[in-house]
Protein backbone atom coordinates (compact mmCIF):
# COMPACT_ATOMS: atom_id res chain seq x y z
CA UNK A 1 0.00 0.00 0.00
CA UNK A 2 1.33 3.43 -0.90
CA UNK A 3 2.28 5.72 1.97
CA UNK A 4 0.15 8.59 0.67
CA UNK A 5 -2.89 6.34 1.00
CA UNK A 6 -2.00 5.55 4.61
CA UNK A 7 -1.65 9.30 5.32
CA UNK A 8 -5.02 9.85 3.65
CA UNK A 9 -6.68 7.16 5.78
CA UNK A 10 -5.17 8.64 8.95
CA UNK A 11 -6.41 12.10 7.92
CA UNK A 12 -9.89 10.77 7.21
CA UNK A 13 -10.14 8.94 10.53
CA UNK A 14 -8.95 11.99 12.49
CA UNK A 15 -11.38 14.32 10.71
CA UNK A 16 -14.34 11.94 11.19
CA UNK A 17 -13.54 11.54 14.90
CA UNK A 18 -13.27 15.33 15.14
CA UNK A 19 -16.76 15.69 13.66
CA UNK A 20 -18.06 13.43 16.43
CA UNK A 21 -16.37 15.39 19.24
CA UNK A 22 -16.46 19.00 17.94
CA UNK A 23 -13.44 20.00 20.02
CA UNK A 24 -11.00 21.07 17.27
CA UNK A 25 -8.26 18.92 18.85
CA UNK A 26 -8.07 16.40 16.03
CA UNK A 27 -9.01 18.55 13.04
CA UNK A 28 -5.59 20.18 12.79
CA UNK A 29 -3.84 16.80 13.09
CA UNK A 30 -6.07 15.47 10.31
CA UNK A 31 -5.18 18.40 8.07
CA UNK A 32 -1.50 17.86 8.92
CA UNK A 33 -1.82 14.21 7.84
CA UNK A 34 -3.49 15.40 4.64
CA UNK A 35 -0.53 17.73 4.00
CA UNK A 36 1.83 14.78 4.56
CA UNK A 37 -0.14 12.77 1.97
CA UNK A 38 0.27 15.59 -0.56
CA UNK A 39 4.01 15.75 0.13
CA UNK A 40 4.24 11.97 -0.36
CA UNK A 41 2.59 12.27 -3.77
CA UNK A 42 5.13 14.94 -4.81
CA UNK A 43 8.20 13.41 -3.08
CA UNK A 44 7.44 9.68 -2.64
CA UNK A 45 10.65 8.71 -0.81
CA UNK A 46 10.84 11.55 1.71
CA UNK A 47 9.23 10.16 4.88
CA UNK A 48 11.08 12.57 7.17
CA UNK A 49 9.94 15.54 5.06
CA UNK A 50 6.35 14.26 5.17
CA UNK A 51 6.40 13.97 8.95
CA UNK A 52 7.98 17.41 9.37
CA UNK A 53 5.51 19.09 6.98
CA UNK A 54 2.55 17.35 8.66
CA UNK A 55 3.71 18.43 12.12
CA UNK A 56 4.44 22.02 11.02
CA UNK A 57 1.03 22.35 9.36
CA UNK A 58 -0.77 21.00 12.45
CA UNK A 59 1.27 23.25 14.75
CA UNK A 60 0.69 26.38 12.65
CA UNK A 61 -3.04 25.71 12.42
CA UNK A 62 -3.21 25.18 16.18
CA UNK A 63 -1.33 28.40 16.97
CA UNK A 64 -3.01 30.69 14.44
CA UNK A 65 -6.57 29.47 14.86
CA UNK A 66 -6.62 29.34 18.67
CA UNK A 67 -8.42 32.72 19.01
CA UNK A 68 -11.06 31.60 16.48
CA UNK A 69 -11.68 28.25 18.15
CA UNK A 70 -11.75 29.85 21.60
CA UNK A 71 -14.41 32.31 20.40
CA UNK A 72 -16.42 29.42 18.95
CA UNK A 73 -16.17 27.37 22.14
CA UNK A 74 -17.31 30.20 24.42
CA UNK A 75 -20.05 31.17 21.98
CA UNK A 76 -23.69 30.49 22.73
CA UNK A 77 -24.74 26.89 22.29
CA UNK A 78 -21.33 25.17 22.56
CA UNK A 79 -21.04 22.47 25.21
CA UNK A 80 -18.14 20.10 25.60
CA UNK A 81 -19.18 16.44 25.75
CA UNK A 82 -17.81 16.16 29.29
CA UNK A 83 -20.11 19.01 30.42
CA UNK A 84 -23.05 16.74 29.66
CA UNK A 85 -21.98 14.49 32.57
CA UNK A 86 -22.90 17.10 35.18
CA UNK A 87 -26.04 15.93 36.95
CA UNK A 88 -25.68 12.31 35.81
CA UNK A 89 -25.63 9.41 38.23
CA UNK A 90 -23.08 6.65 38.39
CA UNK A 91 -21.39 4.03 40.52
CA UNK A 92 -18.03 4.04 42.29
CA UNK A 93 -15.64 1.39 40.92
CA UNK A 94 -12.65 2.39 43.04
CA UNK A 95 -12.93 4.02 46.50
CA UNK A 96 -12.77 7.81 46.64
CA UNK A 97 -11.30 9.68 49.60
CA UNK A 98 -10.92 13.46 50.02
CA UNK A 99 -7.17 13.16 49.40
CA UNK A 100 -7.27 10.27 46.90
CA UNK A 101 -9.20 10.25 43.62
CA UNK A 102 -11.07 7.14 42.54
CA UNK A 103 -12.81 5.71 39.50
CA UNK A 104 -16.52 6.01 38.73
CA UNK A 105 -18.70 4.52 36.03
CA UNK A 106 -21.26 6.75 34.35
CA UNK A 107 -23.29 5.03 31.69
CA UNK A 108 -20.83 2.79 29.87
CA UNK A 109 -17.77 4.99 30.50
CA UNK A 110 -15.30 5.18 33.38
CA UNK A 111 -13.91 8.46 34.72
CA UNK A 112 -11.46 9.63 37.36
CA UNK A 113 -13.31 11.38 40.16
CA UNK A 114 -12.73 13.36 43.34
CA UNK A 115 -15.00 14.05 46.26
CA UNK A 116 -14.87 16.04 49.49
CA UNK A 117 -16.22 12.97 51.30
CA UNK A 118 -15.24 9.29 51.38
CA UNK A 119 -17.25 7.17 48.99
CA UNK A 120 -16.83 3.41 48.90
CA UNK A 121 -16.89 1.02 45.96
CA UNK A 122 -20.42 0.21 44.80
CA UNK A 123 -22.03 3.37 46.18
CA UNK A 124 -24.12 5.60 43.93
CA UNK A 125 -22.79 9.05 43.02
CA UNK A 126 -23.92 12.15 41.17
CA UNK A 127 -21.59 14.38 39.15
CA UNK A 128 -21.66 17.94 40.48
CA UNK A 129 -18.97 19.52 38.27
CA UNK A 130 -16.04 18.76 36.02
CA UNK A 131 -12.45 19.77 36.41
CA UNK A 132 -9.63 19.60 33.92
CA UNK A 133 -8.67 16.05 34.88
CA UNK A 134 -11.32 14.81 37.32
CA UNK A 135 -15.06 14.83 37.78
CA UNK A 136 -16.25 16.22 41.11
CA UNK A 137 -18.86 13.88 42.61
CA UNK A 138 -21.00 13.50 45.72
CA UNK A 139 -22.85 10.55 47.19
CA UNK A 140 -26.25 10.05 45.63
CA UNK A 141 -28.96 9.74 48.24
CA UNK A 142 -31.94 9.14 45.96
* pLDDT of residue 57 exceeding 60: yes
Average pLDDT over residues 30-52: 95
Tens of pLDDT, residue by residue over 90-109, are 999 999 998 899 999 998 88
- Split at pLDDT 50, 70, 90, the class of 25 is confident
Q: Which pLDDT value is given to residue 74? A: 59
- Top CATH class, 81-139: mainly beta
Domain definitions of the chain by residue range: 3-74, 81-139
Q: What is the 3-state secondary structure (H, E, C) of the chain?
A: CCHHHHHHHHHHHHHHHHHHHCCCCCHHHHHHHHHHHHHHHHCCCCHHHHHHHHHHHHHHHHHHHHHHHHHHHHCCCCCCHHHHHCCCEEEEEECEECCECEEEEECCEEEEEECCCCECCCCEEEEEEECCCCEEEEECCC
More confident residue, 5 or 76: 5
Amino acid sequence: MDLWLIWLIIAGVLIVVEMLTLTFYLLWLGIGALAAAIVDVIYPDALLLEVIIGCVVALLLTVFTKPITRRFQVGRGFRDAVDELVGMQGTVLEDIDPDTPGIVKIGSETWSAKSSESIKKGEAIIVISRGSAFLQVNKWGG
